Amino acid sequence: MPQDPRFDDPGPDAQWQAALADGQFVIQCCGTCGAAQFPPAVICRACHGAMLKMVPASGKGTVYSTTTVRGREGGHDVSIIELAEGPRMMACVEGDPEAVRIGQAVTARVAAGEPPRVVFSPEGGA
């Protein structure tokens, strides 16, 4: 049975994690229709094409929704960030979780860790 060449390389999630491990925040861009998408997938969610490539994300976004998760050690932010490229992703906005506002401009960085992850800071500093 012939193998589908789309499955020869590491999968889209593994590629995304590998880029993060190199300190790069990337998203997928469709070579057929130009749509940007996150999370990464094997096909484009807009046109179902398979010509996807990882491109550096601008790191710019705005807070689409936000909540504060409270624990014994205090609270932290969990937000949905609408990226400048269009897709939305769940991430933490650093700083005072009570100060995070819908529509606020935020900037991404890759936080080291196991695994590394994308976190956001309020634009212009916390």
Given the complex with Zn ion, which of 75 and 86 has the nearer CB atom?
A: 86
Give the separation between CA 48 and CA 79, rounded to whole angstroms. 28
Given the complex with Zn ion, which of 26 and 108 has the nearer CB atom?
A: 26
CB 54 within 8 A of CB 18: no
Residues near Zn ion (CB under 5 A) are: 30, 32-33, 35, 44, 46-47, 49
Amino acid at 56: P
Taking the complex as a whole, how short is the minimal distance between the CB of residue 49 and Zn ion, in angstroms? 4
Taking the complex as a whole, how short is the minimal distance between the CB of residue 110 and Zn ion, in angstroms? 26
